[in-house]
Amino acid sequence: MIECKNITKTYKSGEIETHALKNASFKINDGEFVAIMGPSGSGKSTLMHIIGCLDTPTSGEYLLDNKDVSKLSDDELADIRMQKIGFVFQAFNLLPRATVLRNVTLPLVYAGISKEKREGQAKEALRGSAFPEEFWNHYSNQLSGGMMQRVAIARALVNNPTLVLADEPTGNLDTKTGEMVLDTFQRLHQEQGRTIILITHEPYVAEHAERVINIRDGNIVEDGKVKNRRVINNHNSK
């Protein structure tokens, strides 16, 4: 599904060059749950932007579903993001005075999907993210942090993407609420076979995935299965 071949990203400011990524190479197969972990400044955010088609590498190849997307135009990258990738961000990025259902349908509005069809897809996505039906017509600013993040997960799922990319999704949550969100990702992976890439700097968060790619100073320093995986079951929590 995903193959990065010698991905390098260099930023230039005048005569100064910063090498954010240095010949990063790895594969992620369909249905894997992978954490990309590293400290601030390690290059993980740059790698996330490339995987999410938000940026392109300076050199190297990035293949998504066997298509080289490393040299596509901005418009072509936008089409890939809309069709294949669901994003979950640390800050939720929900409209505060819109209902839960409205927030989840927004990507389908932009995609030109009919009202009847998009509401059906939104409801299916909310069920997939374990979001309680009695809160579907609440405004997002009436919800707890954990519930807002599950709305954000539903919004990421509504286009039925090939890949769910979560950037520090528990960063604004307390530990207990964060575990509920991580449980949602585990369930999406186990029950629906979703491919999930989790970006984090926290080892305990990465331990909820099946595999961890460690990055430091732009280099991949370790890539392997999680030895003591944290498996949680908190599906009915709010």
Domain that holds residue 79: 2-225
Inside any domain, residue 92: yes
Q: Please tell me the pTM assigned to this model.
A: 0.88
Inside any domain, residue 234: no
Inside any domain, residue 168: yes
**Separation between Cα atoms, residue 85 and residue 112, nearest integer Å:** 17
Inside any domain, residue 155: yes
Question: Where residue 14 sits, what CATH number does that domain have?
Answer: 3.40.50.300
- Both tokens of residue 29? 């197969």
Q: Give the pLDDT confidence score for residue 210 in this predicted structure.
A: 95
Is pLDDT above 60 for 238?
no
Inside any domain, residue 193: yes
- When pLDDT is averaged across residues 153-177 and rounded to a whole number, the result is 91
Inside any domain, residue 41: yes
**Number of structural domains, the chain?**
1
Question: With bands split at pLDDT 50, 70 and 90, how would you rate the model's confidence at 57?
Answer: very high
Inside any domain, residue 237: no
Which amino acid would we find at residue 187?
A: R
- When pLDDT is averaged across residues 66-81 and rounded to a whole number, the result is 88
31-56 as b/e: b if 16+ CB within 10 A: ebbbbbbbeeebbbbbbbbbbbbbbb
Inside any domain, residue 232: no
Identify the weakest region by mean pLDDT among 27-31, 115-119, 149-153: 115-119
Strand partners, 199: 36, 167
**Separation between Cα atoms, residue 83 and residue 3, nearest integer Å:** 18
